[in-house]
Amino acid sequence: MIIAVDGPAASGKGTIAAALARHFGLPYLDTGLLYRAVGRAVADHIDAPDIEARAVEAASCIDPDTIDPEALLGADTGVLASRIAVFPGVRAALFAFQHDFARLPAGAVLDGRDIGTTIAPNADAKLFIVADAGVRAERRARQLESRGIVVDRAQMRAEIEARDARDAAAPHGGFRPAADAVLLDTTNLDIEAAIKAAIAQVEAAMVRKAAGPD
Ligand code: C5P
């Protein structure tokens, strides 16, 4: 079973995807980490004229096994990631690893922005997680604070909105839900309720799939 979980920054998709992976016993890949690792690798040159070539080179050298998620958590790293994610060469360099992960014999859960549309268009279940921007900023602030990171809330909101804008104008016309994705709005859901709703949606997708085409 392949499960694609997409959505904007801090929508809860990572927490939901990890919970789905545990629930269904599947390997899990947070694809945002790949973009974050590339953004971090070229952080010192982010405004350089040759940033695109540098980012493509960094993306080609990324070893997913050596990525430390904790080191890439910060909102500043998310902004760096969204700046290098617009380069088609970066996306192409990161494609094969994600594509192969989605085809592991055991199945997989992947979360990101383009899983249901590009990385695993044949996924068995596709969720697109959304939430109000203010709620997303508050959630991300609390997540970072729980790890001892000091957060400026106004700046956090501005960074989330800047990332939304950049992601919406991404190279291929912006990230959109796949036509067959189920939208899950978590604005008014706590994490337990969101996970429960996501599990129910995946189970419903499996039932639809087993029943065959309409
Ligand atoms: O999901 P996360 O917030 O970690 O992603 C960081 C950034 O990486 C996003 O804002 C987006 O620009 C980029 N990204 C992407 N495609 C993905 C995952 C993340 O372009 N599949």
Atom of ligand 1 nearest to the CA of 163: 10
Query: Which own/partner contact pairs does 141-144 have at CB distance under 8 Å and 24+ positions apart?
Result: 143/10, 143/73, 144/73, 144/74, 144/75
Closest CA to 29 of 104, 136, 134, 138: 104
Q: Is the pLDDT of residue 173 over 80?
A: no
What is the gyration radius of the CA atoms in the chain, in angstroms? 17
pLDDT in tens, 62-107: 999 999 998 998 878 988 999 999 999 999 999 999 999 999 999 9
Q: Is the pLDDT of residue 16 over 80?
A: yes
Residue nearest to atom 9 of ligand 1 (CA): 82
3-state SS class at 78: helix
Distance 192 CA to ligand 1 centre (A): 24
* Token pair 């998310």: residue: 78
Atom of ligand 1 nearest to the CA of 72: 4
With a Cβ cut-off of 6 Å, ligand 1 is lined by 9, 31-32, 35-36, 78, 81-82, 85, 112-114, 163, 167
DSSP tag of 21: H
Confidence label for 166 from pLDDT (cuts 50, 70 and 90): confident
C-alpha 141/C-alpha 169 separation (Å) is 25
Q: How many domains does the chain have?
A: 1
pLDDT at 171: 66
For the chain, percent helix, then strand, then coil, each to nearest 5?
55, 10, 30
Confidence label for 172 from pLDDT (cuts 50, 70 and 90): low
Answer whether 45's CB lies under 8 Å from 53's CB.
Answer: no
Domain containing residue 114: CATH number: 3.40.50.300
Atom of ligand 1 nearest to the CA of 78: 6
pLDDT in tens, 199-208: 999 999 999 8
At what angle are helices 133-145 and 153-168 packed, to 10 degrees?
A: 120
pTM: 0.93
Residue nearest to atom 16 of ligand 1 (CA): 113
Q: Residue 46 corresponds to which tokens in the numbers above?
A: 């982010």
Range of the domain at 163: 2-211
Average pLDDT over residues 161-185: 85
